Structure 1
Amino acid sequence: MNKKDKIPVIAVVGPTASGKSRLAVELALAGNGEVISADSMQIYKGMNIGTAKPTVEEMRGVPHHLLDFAPLTQPFSVADYVSLASDCISQVSARGKLPVIAGGTGLYIRSLLQNIQFTENDKDETLRKQLAQKAEEQGVQSLMEELKSFDPESAERIHPNNLSRVIRAIEIYRTTGFTMTEQLERSKQAPTPYDACMIGLDFRDRQKLYDRINRRVDLMIRDGLLHEAEEILNRPGSQTAMQAIGYKELLPYFRSECSLEEAVESIKRESRRYAKRQLTWFRRDENIHWIMVDEYRDFEEISNQAFRLVDRKGW
């Protein structure tokens, strides 16, 4: 596919609390665009405060897609995201608008922009249940050791806390004979239909990012996170929320197993760790143009730098 035939797309990526949503809206306003979320938790209904879902005021009239549409009980895969996001991009582009992707779920963004192909014929629900039971009885590390024995690359790439992804990697190998690493390589053979300008937000002084994360958590508590989390965690089938940062750390508090201060500090700590993992992921991508937020005086200067990066694409 020639470059001129590809769909122009902006992607604003980076760690939590770095300002992705705000910059994406600014770029969309300047380029007659619409925002497509790439956040694995903001897709779920009701998880608004804890996932920092943009408010109507923060959207500033810019249409946003793939937010707040999935019930908590609905399983949602990377393949599901790529399918929906691809359709969104096509529709936005067909309207003569510029698609602006914003989010911190690196696997979603890479799979979408690299046009990774997924197959649905290697699923085995019985095997999944068996592996989940093994993890419950023997610990996730037992599955990690099994995965490491035939696919050390995936074992290194996948975080042990991501149980569903560990199970998926084993499932692929057991049902197809190919490792997840091999499948990823084969899936990249289809050319991408997108001409992407990837903009990453980071901080030269990491502590400044951590301070922003801490302040955001305090604001979440002020804005009603406790009420939201208690309501969601008490719903039937709330396993999704049980895995989400900002919710699972409050469970011990609701059970009177720790103080509110301890629970809030746990949210801050896990959010900082998540930001570090996000940066590790995105730093591997040589296509990302980085903006160091703390090197600029204000948001206007950050926006102007982003505009310059987009202008270089010559769309």
Structure 2
Amino acid sequence: MKQKLLVIIGPTAVGKTKLSVELAKRLNGEIISGDSMQIYKGMDIGTAKVKEAEMEGIPHHLIDIKDPEESFSAAEFQDLVRGEITRIADKGKLPIIAGGTGLYIQSVIYDYQFSDTPADLDFRKLLEERALAIGNEALHQELAAVDPDSAQQIHPNNIRRVIRALEIYHCTGKTMKEFQSAQQPELLYDTALVGLTMDRELLYDRINLRVDLMMEEGLLDEVKELHDRGITECQSIQAIGYKELYDYLDGKVSLETAIENLKQNSRHYAKRQLTWFRNKMNVEWFDMTDTKNLSKKITEISQYVEGKLQVKSNTY
């Protein structure tokens, strides 16, 4: 018997946090963050961390476990989340992963063996030096020449993933998609994979509004504190919401331009998230466009999960 697991995915600002809490209340669950940036302390507003009031008493895991100076990998995430799944299940609760970092979530629910992934550390170091010499955009164009699918899904500034895709191609002669397909991973858990989607224009409006609210809540002060601490060449600062405001603090752009770039990059990221999930995972999609009937939609999703996992809701 495989362990039951609920996974809630979807683009930024689509409503994953609220849904995950509501389902946790109905299905006796606890929530594991599936976001690669919410692990960092002091990065609350820009990563849209769930607030204590929003948790409604539901335990949340893998939030605020790393300092911004520290690196974090999908392999480490895989190990930590699988441990949390076991601990939550041992308490008789339903583990619920909620987040938007597709590769990280995929690494948990499928039987991926990171130790089997090819590596060439000398080649990797060469690419790191090359990125410094020619710039991220140029290296991203080199990836596009040999692996256009990965290049479309990976932002040029996410240089670690650009280099990783190039490294896999260098070692195997296969694109990232071809290499992952050859692995033929199987689901490790009895998984209900719920995807949230929304009318594109409405989603973009929500993203723009979210950025405005983040600025009102003090995002600039949050970023400035990291900037003043000298945290610059770190994985955490590549997060959307931080790199754009770093450009402002470094005097490269005006604040107005930085905010517009933040909105634009967030919209582009949401589009890439949807493309990634649709191409990589067997997801049951639910449209959240009708925000006026949210309660009805939550009940519909809850009933789907109950049927898929054969669990009972406490709302009866």
Would you call these one fold, judging by a TM-score over 0.5? yes
Corresponding residue SS for 1:294: coil
Read off the aligned partner of 2:284 and give its amino acid letter.
Answer: H
Give yes or no for contact 1:27–1:307 (8 Å, CA) kept in 2.
yes
Give yes or no for contact 1:118–1:187 (8 Å, CA) kept in 2.
no
Other-structure match for 1:229: 223
CA distance in 2, matches of 1:76, 1:120: 19
1:44 to 40, 43, 51: 40
Other-structure match for 1:78: 74
Give structure 1 stretches of 5+ with no counterpart: none
**C-alpha deviation, 1:72, in angstroms:** 1.5
Give yes or no for contact 1:233–1:241 (8 Å, CA) kept in 2.
no
Give yes or no for contact 1:106–1:278 (8 Å, CA) kept in 2.
yes
CA distance in 1, matches of 2:41, 2:176: 30
Per-residue CA deviations over 1:93-138 (Å, capped at 9, x if unaligned) read: 1111101110011111222222222117855554433211111212
CA RMSD of aligned residues (A): 2.4
Aligned length: 309
The 5 A counterparts of 1:216-295 are: 216-238=210-232, 239-285=234-280, 287-295=282-290
The 5 A counterparts of 1:40-189 are: 40-119=36-115, 122-140=118-136, 142-144=138-140, 147=143, 154-155=150-151, 158-174=154-170, 180-181=176-177, 183-189=179-185
Identity of aligned residues (%): 47
Give yes or no for contact 1:9–1:99 (8 Å, CA) kept in 2.
yes
Q: Establish whether residue 210 from structure 1 lines up as the match of residue 184 from structure 2.
A: no
CA distance in 2, matches of 1:73, 1:217: 24
Other-structure match for 1:308: 303
**C-alpha deviation, 1:286, in angstroms:** 5.8
Corresponding residue SS for 2:193: strand
**C-alpha deviation, 1:298, in angstroms:** 3.1
> Measured at CA, do residues 182 and 54 of structure 1 come closer, stay the same or move farther in structure 2, by a change above 3 Å?
same
Give yes or no for contact 1:117–1:187 (8 Å, CA) kept in 2.
no
**C-alpha deviation, 1:152, in angstroms:** 5.8
> Measured at CA, do residues 75 and 123 of structure 1 come closer, stay the same or move farther in structure 2, by a change above 3 Å?
farther
Per-residue CA deviations over 1:10-58 (Å, capped at 9, x if unaligned) read: 1111110111011001111111110011101111111100000111111
**Range with bigger deviation, 167-176 or 43-52:** 167-176
**C-alpha deviation, 1:212, in angstroms:** 1.0
CA distance in 1, matches of 2:113, 2:169: 17
CA distance in 1, matches of 2:215, 2:143: 39
Give structure 2 stretches of 5+ with no counterpart: 312-316
Read off the aligned partner of 1:44 and give its amino acid letter.
Answer: Y
**C-alpha deviation, 1:215, in angstroms:** 1.2
CA distance in 1, matches of 2:190, 2:143: 35
Per-residue CA deviations over 1:221-245 (Å, capped at 9, x if unaligned) read: 1111111000112323432343111
> Measured at CA, do residues 117 and 25 of structure 1 come closer, stay the same or move farther in structure 2, by a change above 3 Å?
same
Corresponding residue SS for 1:53: coil
TM-score calculated relative to the size of structure 1 = 0.88
CA distance in 2, matches of 1:258, 1:144: 23
CA distance in 2, matches of 1:304, 1:9: 18
Read off the aligned partner of 2:274 and give its amino acid letter.
Answer: L
> Measured at CA, do residues 188 and 81 of structure 1 come closer, stay the same or move farther in structure 2, by a change above 3 Å?
farther
> Measured at CA, do residues 144 and 25 of structure 1 come closer, stay the same or move farther in structure 2, by a change above 3 Å?
same
Other-structure match for 2:314: none
CA distance in 2, matches of 1:44, 1:120: 28
Other-structure match for 1:201: 196
CA distance in 2, matches of 1:132, 1:120: 22
Read off the aligned partner of 2:29 and give its amino acid letter.
Answer: G
**C-alpha deviation, 1:150, in angstroms:** 6.0
CA distance in 2, matches of 1:102, 1:174: 34
CA distance in 2, matches of 1:97, 1:193: 18
